Structure 1
Amino acid sequence: MTTPADEILDIVDENDQVIGRSPRGEAYAKGLRHRCVFIQARDTAGRLFVHRRTPTKLVFPSLYDMFVGGVVGAGESYDDAALREAEEELGVSDLPAPRFLFKFLYDDGAGRTWWSAVYEVRCASEVHPQVEEVAWHDFLPEAEVERRLTRWQWVPDGLAAYERLKAHRAAG
């Protein structure tokens, strides 16, 4: 049986060019730069999908996130990974293709670094998040998410993407 740690990822350089491949567990352990997607999902009322990660997640267990997403598999495009991850994590099969917004290099300075493609999508379906990935979820108004930014423990890469997304929208 394969585990998430066995998933093969493209390893990329500072310009997002593929320089090798590695199992996810090894990429995390050695701090190898790879690719991830962040999808901001909203319901038809415009509320944000927010969830708490399960304690069994390889990275940032039990923290809150305002994005769905994950790693881009070896040979997979960002766009394909965004749709796959959004449908998997939301537990739906009829999402429109998420809309690409921008990409940035996340680097926490402590060995966690990945190219991060940020997307948005509207979800008109009832969600059924993966129990292996999501311990709690709800759709919250953006003002409520803002109020909880200092009260809840959020995944640091999601916070970085959220701040960049707010700046991106403010810039027009």
Structure 2
Amino acid sequence: MNKEFFDGQDELLILVDENDKEIGTQDKLSVHLDGVLHRAFSVFIFNSQNELLLQQRSSIKYHSPGLWTNTCCSHPRPGESTLSACNRRLNEEMGMKADLIFSFSFLYKFEFPNGLTEHEYDHVYFGTSDLEPQINRDEVNDWKYISIGNLEKEISINPELYTPWLKICMPYLK
């Protein structure tokens, strides 16, 4: 992995235990190289037709480049509430605002081919909007609204085109 292309490598992430209790902070690159459990969030925006807004991750992302995923996801900063972080990243990545409601949390670990590991305690928020995203091209290649039924079909045909955490969340989207 080329560290020059690792975005936000000096950003501090919140380390947590398996109960989401904060136990410290560590820089983003080290966290993902060592597979340390940290706090994260995923935002799912639905339109009035109950279609999910997906983003295609930028092709320059340090992991999962070009894969389709939920509306946005990231990490809260130390001292920042998870909901505030969700709103910040929804605006930064998709140029959108929405009322977000906490839905559920899950813990997962996934090792990527480039040697990085996501080990996250992920907080999931749902929201609704009929706005057209104004995407940040440094973060997002493309976007689309899709029904859950069509998304399930697409994932079953081409699972390699979707992020692991989106596939974990699919049973909760029905």
TM-score, with structure 1 as normaliser: 0.85
Aligned pair partner of 2:153 in 147, 154, 169: 147
Following the alignment from structure 1 to structure 2, what is the Cα–Cα distance between the partners of residues 155 and 141?
17
Answer yes or no: is 1:81 the counterpart of 2:85. yes
Q: CA deviation at 1:112?
A: 2.6
Identity, % of aligned positions: 23
Secondary structure of the structure 2 residue equivalent to 1:108:
strand
CA-based RMSD = 2.0
Given that 1:67 and 1:158 are in contact with CA atoms closer than 8 Å, whether structure 2 keeps it comes out as no
Unaligned runs of 5+ in 1: none
Following the alignment from structure 1 to structure 2, what is the Cα–Cα distance between the partners of residues 84 and 59?
21
Following the alignment from structure 2 to structure 1, what is the Cα–Cα distance between the partners of residues 167 and 80?
25
Secondary structure of the structure 2 residue equivalent to 1:82:
helix
Match of 1:95 in 2: 98
Answer yes or no: is 1:57 the counterpart of 2:61. yes
Q: CA deviation at 1:124?
A: 3.1
Q: CA deviation at 1:88?
A: 2.0
Q: CA deviation at 1:109?
A: 6.7
Change (3 A) 1:65 1:44: same
Given that 1:10 and 1:75 are in contact with CA atoms closer than 8 Å, whether structure 2 keeps it comes out as no
Following the alignment from structure 2 to structure 1, what is the Cα–Cα distance between the partners of residues 76 and 63?
15
Given that 1:107 and 1:113 are in contact with CA atoms closer than 8 Å, whether structure 2 keeps it comes out as yes
Q: CA deviation at 1:117?
A: 0.5
Answer yes or no: is 1:112 the counterpart of 2:118. yes
Change (3 A) 1:44 1:88: farther
Given that 2:46 and 2:128 are in contact with CA atoms closer than 8 Å, whether structure 1 keeps it comes out as yes
TM-score, with structure 2 as normaliser: 0.84
Following the alignment from structure 2 to structure 1, what is the Cα–Cα distance between the partners of residues 157 and 72?
20
Match of 2:15 in 1: 11
Secondary structure of the structure 1 residue equivalent to 2:102:
strand
Following the alignment from structure 1 to structure 2, what is the Cα–Cα distance between the partners of residues 161 and 81?
20
Match of 1:33 in 2: 37
Unaligned runs of 5+ in 2: 1-6
Which string of whole-angstrom CA distances, capped at 9 and with x for unpartnered residues, describes residues 59-98 of structure 1? 2111111341211212221111122222222212x422x1
Answer yes or no: is 1:159 the counterpart of 2:159. no
Given that 1:69 and 1:89 are in contact with CA atoms closer than 8 Å, whether structure 2 keeps it comes out as no
Change (3 A) 1:84 1:73: same
Runs (4+) off by over 6 Å? none
Given that 1:37 and 1:118 are in contact with CA atoms closer than 8 Å, whether structure 2 keeps it comes out as yes
Following the alignment from structure 1 to structure 2, what is the Cα–Cα distance between the partners of residues 121 and 137?
16
Q: CA deviation at 1:34?
A: 0.8
Following the alignment from structure 2 to structure 1, what is the Cα–Cα distance between the partners of residues 157 and 75?
27
